[in-house]
Amino acid sequence: AKEAGRDGFQFYTAEMNTKVHERLALQEAMRHGIAHCEFYLLYQPQVDLQTGRIFAVEALVRWKHPTQGVISPVHFIPLAEETGLIVPLGDWVLNEACRQNKAWQDAGLSPVNVSVNVSGRQFHEKNWICRVTRALRESGMEARYLELELTESLLMRNVDQAIATMKELQALGVHFAIDDFGTGYSSLSALKNLPVARLKIDQSFIRNLARDENDRGIAAAVISLGQRLNMRVIAEGVETDEQFAFLHDNHCDEIQGYHFSRPIKSKAIEDLLRSQTAM
C-alpha cells in the first residue's frame, strides 16, 4: 500500500511538473513572441443592419508562433491574463489597432470605429487610463473612434470602480460595449448606470436561433432591453440567412459574424472599406 501510495504520489508530481513546465514554456514563448513581434491583428467588420454599411471593425489578436503556426487567442489569452502578460500584449493590441485605424482614415477611407477587447487585468491596472490616452496620442486617432469591449463579468466584479474608470475615459470621447452579454450576471440596476453605447448579444444565444424558441425569446428581449436603455444592440456570431432574417425582423441594430465576413487581414478590410467609400 505504501509503495502504491508513493507511486501515486510520484505519478501526480510528474504530471504536475509537466503541466507547470508546459505553462512556463508557453509563458516564456509568449514573452519572447511579444518582444519579437509574433503577434498580429485580424479585423472583423461590424455592420449596420439597416444600411448594410461597415461602421466598425473589431480587432482580434493572433499569434504566429515560429514553429507551431498560428495560435488562436482562446489558447493564450487566459494564461496571459493569469501571468500579467496581457498588460504588455494588450498595450500592443490597443496601440496597433489605433495606428491602423488612423492609417485607414489618412488613406481617405470612410472612417469607422475600432473595437478593442480589454481584459479585467488590463482594466484594473492603476495607469490604465494613462495607457489609453497614450495610445490615442501616439496614433493621432480621435478618441471617438475607439470602442472598448468589456465583458459583463469584468464589469460586475466591481461596478462602482468600473463606472468611475469608464466615465473618465468617456469624458475623453471613448465608447464602451458590453461583450458576451447574457453570459454573466448583470443586475439591471447596474446596467442602467453603466456608460455603455452598445450591447453585444453573446453568440451562444445566436447559434441555435433557428431551433431554439428560448434563444429567440432571449435575443428579442435583449434587443428591446438595450434599445430601451438607449444602447445600440449588436448580435455576434451571425452565420446563417435564418439568423440574419430573425435579427432583421426583430429590429436588431447591427450584426457581426461569418454571414458578412470572418476576421480578416488589414489589407482585406481596406478593400472592403474602399468599395464602401465608392458607394
Q: Helix, strand or coil for residue 38?
A: coil
Instruction: Indicate the helix (H) or strand (E) that contains 175.
Output: strand 175-181
Q: Which of 96, 152, 180, 215 binds Ca ion (CB under 5 A)?
A: 180
Q: Which of 29, 43, 44, 176 binds ligand C2E (CB under 6 A)?
A: 44
The yes or no reply on residue 254 touching Ca ion (CB under 5 A) is no
Site string for ligand C2E, 62-81 (x = CB under 6 A): ----------xxx--x----
* Positions in 88-127 near Ca ion (CB under 5 A): 117
* Span near ligand C2E by CB under 6 A; candidates 12-20, 23-31, 47-55, 59-67: 59-67
**Choosing among Ca ion, ligand C2E, none, which partner's interface includes residue 186 (Cβ < 5 to 8 Å by kind)?**
none
Beta bridge partners of 57: 45, 114
Cell triple for 65: 508562433
CA angle 59, 62, 64 (to 5 degrees): 150
The yes or no reply on residue 239 touching ligand C2E (CB under 6 A) is yes
* Closer by beta carbon to Ca ion, 29 or else 218: 218
Whole-number minimum distance, CB 74 to Ca ion, in Å?
9
> Phi/psi of residue 237, each to 5°?
75, 25
> Phi/psi of residue 262, each to 5°?
-75, 170
* Positions in 125-164 near Ca ion (CB under 5 A): 149
Cβ atoms of residues 241 and 260 within 8 Å = no
User: d(Cα 62, Cα 76) in Å, to the nearest integer?
Assistant: 9
AA identity, residue 199: L
Cell triple for 235: 448580435
Whole-number minimum distance, CB 177 to Ca ion, in Å?
8
Site string for ligand C2E, 91-130 (x = CB under 6 A): --x-----------------------x-x-----------
User: d(Cα 107, Cα 278) in Å, to the nearest integer?
Assistant: 13
Strand locations in 9-134, DSSP E?
A: 39-48, 54-65, 69-71, 113-117
* Closer by beta carbon to ligand C2E, 80 or else 273: 80
**Choosing among Ca ion, ligand C2E, none, which partner's interface includes residue 33 (Cβ < 5 to 8 Å by kind)?**
none
Beta bridge partners of 254: 48, 234
- Which residues bind to Ca ion, rule: CB under 5 A? 117, 149, 179-180
- Which residues bind to ligand C2E, rule: CB under 6 A? 44, 59-61, 72-74, 77, 86, 90, 93, 117, 119, 179-180, 236-239, 257-258, 263
